[in-house]
Amino acid sequence: MEIRNLTAADLPACSALAESRSWPREPPKWALLHEVGTVFGIDAPDGRGLAATCVLVPFGPVASISMVLVAPRYERRGLGRAITAHAVAAAGDRVVWLHASKLGRPLYESMGFVVDGGCQGHVGRFADDGGVGAVPGALPEVLALDLAAHGADRRAFLQRLGTPFVVDGGFAFGTDIGHVTVVGPVVADSEEQAKALIRGVARTVSGEVRVDPDFRFPALTAWVRERGLVPGALAPRLVLEGRSLPGDASMRFAPFTRAV
C-alpha cells in the first residue's frame, strides 16, 4: 500500500480514523500538526477512508513522530511499522523521538527506539487553590526560553498556539484541541513556576483542561491530581537509537500533548 503525504482535505479522514481507534477526533490538533509537520497516510484499499496515519514534525536537529494509527480492519499487516519507518527515513539524521502507548511500545523498541523518560496525561476541571497565577505575555518573551529548554527553534510551532502565559523564567500556552484545552508546553525554572503557569491558563478555561506532567516531576503530578485532574495511561518517551535529546530537560515540565 502506497504511503503518501496527506493534505488538508484528508484531515477529516484522519479524525475518523482516530475515532475508530477510540481516540478523540481533535480536528484542531490535526490541523496544527499538518501546518508544522507532515502527515503521512495510507489509503484504505476498500475505499473507506484511511488505513493508517503517522505525523512527523521536524524542529532543526530533532523530530517527533506521533498519531501512528492503523484502522482496526487492517491490523497485523505491518502498516504501523511501514509508516513509522517511512517517517524515520524522512527525518534524516535528526534525533527522532515519540511517546508510545502500551500496545505500540514493543513495535517501536523492535525498530531501535529506546525508553528515555515520558509523561502522563491528566484531564479534568481544574480546582483552583488560589495560588499565584501566570499572566498573558507575548511570543518574543518566550522564544529564548523554549530554545534553551528544547534545543531547537520552534517559533513556527509556538506562534500557532496563541497567547503565552508567562512568569519570570517560564511560560505555557492554553490551546483548545477540540474537546479539551491543553496546558503546554510548560517550561519553567521550578515546580512553583510550573504551578503558576498551569493556574494562569486554567483560570481562563470554563471546561476541562489537560496537562501531561513529565515523569521527572512527581510532586507536580501529585498536585495536578489534587486539583481534580484525572490520570490517564502512561506515555513513555522513546528516542531512536537512544540518542540524547538537546536542550535543558530540567525546564521541560510538560509537553504540548504527546505529539510535539
Distance CA 228, CA 237 (A): 25
CA–CA dist 246, 65 (Å, integer):
16
The per-residue pLDDT for range 234-260, each reduced to its tens digit, is 999 999 999 999 999 999 999 999 999
User: Pairing mode, if any, of strands 209-211 and 230-240?
Assistant: unpaired
Name 213's Cβ contacts closer than 8 Å, sequence gap at least 6.
Answer: 119, 120, 122, 220, 221, 224, 253, 254
Residues present in the chain in total: 260
Tell me the domains of the chain and their CATH numbers. Answer: 3-93 (3.40.630.30), 121-231 (3.40.630.30)
Contact 216, 175 (CB under 8 A): no
Report strand pairing: 181-187 vs 209-211: parallel
| The three three-digit cell numbers of residue 191, written as one number | 515546580
Residue-wise pLDDT tens digits, 163-197: 999 999 999 999 999 999 999 999 999 999 999 99
Strand partners, 167: 170
Q: What is the pLDDT of residue 70?
A: 98
Average pLDDT of the chain, as a whole number? 97
Rounded-to-integer distance, Cα 198 and Cα 193, Å: 9
Q: What is the pLDDT of residues 50-84, one digit of tens each?
A: 999 999 999 999 999 999 999 999 999 999 999 99
Q: Does pTM surpass 0.85?
A: yes
| Structure-block grid coordinates of residue 141 | 518573551
